[in-house]
Structure 1
Amino acid sequence: MQAWVTDLQHLLAHGDAAVLVTVARVEGSAPREAGTKMIVTREAARHTIGGGHLEWKAIETARQVLRDGMRMPHARRLKRFALGPSLGQCCGGAVVLAFERLDVSDLGWLATLARRLAAGASTVRSVSFRSSRNGTPAGAPTGVNQPEADGAAVAVMLSEPEPGVETPDCLLWDTGAASQGDGTLLLTETVAPNDWPVVLFGAGHVGAALVRVLGTLPCRVRWVDARDAAFPSPEAFAALNAPNVAIDANDAPDEAIDAAPPGTSFIVMTHDHSLDLELAERILRRGDFVFFGMIGSHTKRKQFEHRLAARGIDPLQIARMNCPLGVDGIVDKSPEVIAISAAAQLLQAIEAATAAMHAPGHAGVAAPGTTHSA
């Protein structure tokens, strides 16, 4: 699930109006990529488009759009910000930001989008902006450098992406007449599920510390341990504020491996080395994981390499096992440090898998959170 979708649903359901700010176009170097979102209300701002002076100006503009809503409930605006000359930010590029005032009437398309994301489906969201009357500045690319555009409300449109298109993207384009001042600019973006799946085995001290970190990241965690008493109490678990984590007290933890979708990341840190070996064998045999990490020492790795090879596991698959777990150069063995180091190593694997999936001609393990189409 995209967090901005859930947050908007909660805000609008309580009767609040909000402005959705989207990075619609990036020119050169910028703090965040196209498609990045921020939500602005009268009192607060959630999420970030990069911080600094740009974000401060974006919040100021968004609150003006909220005020404009007194006469135009679904006010929309496009505004271009040059990061270097006008804002003093060292990125040096420019961004076009889209501002959309939303209220309770937008809950319909948000609910549809939320259902599709929960089902793992990507969705194209299209929003139109009426061009400003003075047209595009002379010499500027049509529809790109337009400093500002206000428009009357046209319904947000949701549609299926083109076949084979599942990855997020964002495009701001001219429908053909915007440069004459009587057309529209159209923002189209493919909104894709961004919560990659993780199966974590072990509810000990390190497992609990890692859950606290993973609870802040865009992932879905299945936290598995046969010992029900090892998990936090319901009150303590609620205090973790990790709605993306599901506890699974399971006497047959290997079932979680079989049930996991392609592109899952597995982390093994149980209290039992023999169980670790069984889980490692099952994970390596399926092979379609993005990341497999296991807590332990170099000695444990050597022992497991021999035992797994004796069970017929391909040495190339065994080499994909990250044990000891964590990034190189961090030697502190406290649970909190191991958790941060393990999460960093996991993020490296996620980034690499996502980049590989987007490479031309790639065919193989699914990117995190996706499945292969037939």
Structure 2
Amino acid sequence: MTWSESQPLPWHAALHHLQREARPHALASVVGTAGSTPREPGAKMVITAEAVYDTLGGGTFEFQVIAAAREALERGDGGPHLEAFPLGGRSGQCCGGYVHVLIEVFGGADMCVALFGAGHVGQALVGLLAPLPWRVLWFDSRADAFPAGSESQPRLSCRRVETGPEGPDIEAAVASLPAGSHALVMTHDHGEDRQLVDALLKRGDCASIGLIGSDSKWASFQRRLRDAGHDQATLDARVRCPIGIPGAKGKRPYEIAVAVVAELLTLKPATDQDDRRGVSPETLRDAFSAPNPRDAAS
């Protein structure tokens, strides 16, 4: 059965599916309570922009947790942070207890890769990308081009390029891409490859464009692309051909695929390197320091 966000799953099942698909979500966990509270430490709930799975007890307190999680998702926050909920003061609930909730935000896929071509190199690439938290949109204009069972791979979407009397609808396929995609062009047809590069350049918001082929193929393409209105400076700056990390050797499909994935890793956005991320050390120290028995006795 295909999973969707409308299913009433327990938090652990929803977390598994969302992690597997690299979709943005937050995990809210009750980590400390005092007094009368709706749920005990260890209670968990998963929140996305559209859905909620499981419960921390309901009421205004739960609505506030959901709102805090969705605000963090919308801001693109990463990692965990603690939220304090005095149920009488902040949440207006008559039980009057106190709850600390750890909200862990998972931002979804690190990158989106648009792969045009389901040939030998494309198939090797998809296998190498499978363990990575990247979303992959796989296109081909040929019937039955995708290997059986491809759609079962996490984060992979196989998309047939519609073909009409004038050939494949390249413009529609390119228009369907999310902004900031890393496009890789390696179809079975040089004409399709050239049309794709032309459409991708005209779109203008791809994070990168890679074209499989030799220096002579790229030289031929450049002449046609300049005739189509693209200046040489744009071609030099926006298109990589041949693709693959510099210095890589080998012409086997798997060897080329390894070089391409290594090159994509160099294009991956840098992560925040701030030494102080997530819950502050001071907060953790105060939360987990054992009280002095002499202080309690006094």
What TM-score results when the alignment is normalised by the length of structure 2?
0.62
What's the CA shift for 1:335? 0.3
3-state secondary structure, aligned to 2:113: strand
Please name the residue that 2:195 is paired with: 278
- The separation in 1 between residues aligned to 2:123 and 2:22, in whole angstroms, is 28
> Counterpart of 1:256?
173
Query: Offset of 1:164 from its aligned partner?
Result: 5.3
Cα contact 1:202–1:223 (8 A) shared by 2:
yes
Q: Is the 8 A contact 1:290 1:350 kept in 2?
A: no
How far off is 1:241 after superposition?
5.7
- Structure 1 residue 192 and structure 2 residue 107: aligned? yes
* Counterpart for residue 212 of structure 1: 127
Letter in 2 for 1:221: V
**1:129 partnered with 2:31:** yes
Q: 1:107 to 1:173 in 2, by over 3 A?
A: closer
- AA partner of residue 115 (structure 2): L
Compared CA separation, residues 246 and 113, structure 1 to 2 (3 A)? closer
Secondary structure of the structure 2 residue equivalent to 1:129: strand
- 1:109-138: CA deviation from partner (whole Å, max 9, x where unpaired): 864996899796x4444323238xxxxxxx
Aligned AA (1:348): T
Structure 2 residue aligned with 1:152: 41
Taking the aligned partners of 2:22 and 2:15, their CA distance within structure 1 comes to 11
Per-residue deviation, 1:323: 0.8
Tell me the SS of whatever aligns to 1:228: coil
Contact 1:199-1:256 at 8 Å conserved across structures: no
Aligned residue number for residue 351 of structure 1: 269
Partner of 2:75: 165
Q: Distance in 2 between matches of 1:163 and 1:215?
A: 25
Counterparts in 2 of 1:247 and 1:119: CA distance versus 1, 3 Å: closer
Residues in 2 aligned to 1:243 and 1:114: alpha-carbon distance in whole angstroms: 9
Match for 1:128: what amino acid? V
8 Å contact from structure 2 (residues 72, 105) kept in 1: no
- 1:268-347 equivalences in 2 (<5 Å): 268-318=185-235, 319-347=237-265
Structure 2 runs not aligned, ≥5 long? 34-39, 46-64, 87-96, 273-298
Q: 1:217 and 1:316 mapped to 2: Cα distance?
A: 33
Structure-2 change in CA distance of 1:274 and 1:264 (3 Å): same
- Does the 8 A contact of 1:113 with 1:123 survive in 2? no
What count of residue pairs does the alignment treat as equivalent?
Answer: 225
Structure 2 CA distance for partners of 1:271 and 1:123, relative to 1, 3 Å: closer
Q: CA RMSD in A?
A: 3.9
**Secondary structure in structure 1 of the residue aligned to 2:66:** strand
Task: Give the equivalent residue in structure 2 for 1:107.
Answer: 10
Q: Distance in 2 between matches of 1:119 and 1:329?
A: 32
Cα gap change, 1:114/1:161 in structure 2, threshold over 3 Å: closer, same or farther?
Answer: farther
Measured in 2, the distance between the counterparts of 1:324 and 1:348 equals: 16
- Are 2:30 and 2:41, in contact at CA under 8 Å, matched by a contact in 1? no
Residue 310 of structure 1: CA displacement?
Answer: 2.4
Query: 1:20-51 deviations in whole A, cap 9, x for unaligned?
Result: xxxxxxxxxxxxxxxxxxxxxxxxxxxxxxxx
Q: Which runs of 5+ in 1 are unaligned?
A: 1-5, 7-12, 14-104, 132-150, 177-181, 356-374
What per-residue deviation string (whole Å, max 9, x for no partner) do you get for residues 53-90 of structure 1?
xxxxxxxxxxxxxxxxxxxxxxxxxxxxxxxxxxxxxx
Give the share of equivalent positions with the same residue, in percent. Answer: 31
CA distance in 2, matches of 1:262, 1:281: 16
Equivalence for 1:225: 140
- By how many angstroms is 1:329 displaced? 0.8
Q: Which amino acid aligns with 1:326?
A: G
Partner of 1:245: 156
Are the structure 2 counterparts of residues 153 and 214 from structure 1 closer, same or farther at C-alpha, using a change threshold of 3 Å? closer
Change beyond 3 A, Cα 1:278–1:316? same
* In structure 2, distance between residues paired with 1:328 and 1:116: 33
Residue type at the aligned position of 2:66: L
Give me the whole-angstrom Cα distance separating, in 1, the residues matched to 2:73 and 2:120.
45
CA 1:263–1:167: 2 relative to 1, 3 Å: farther
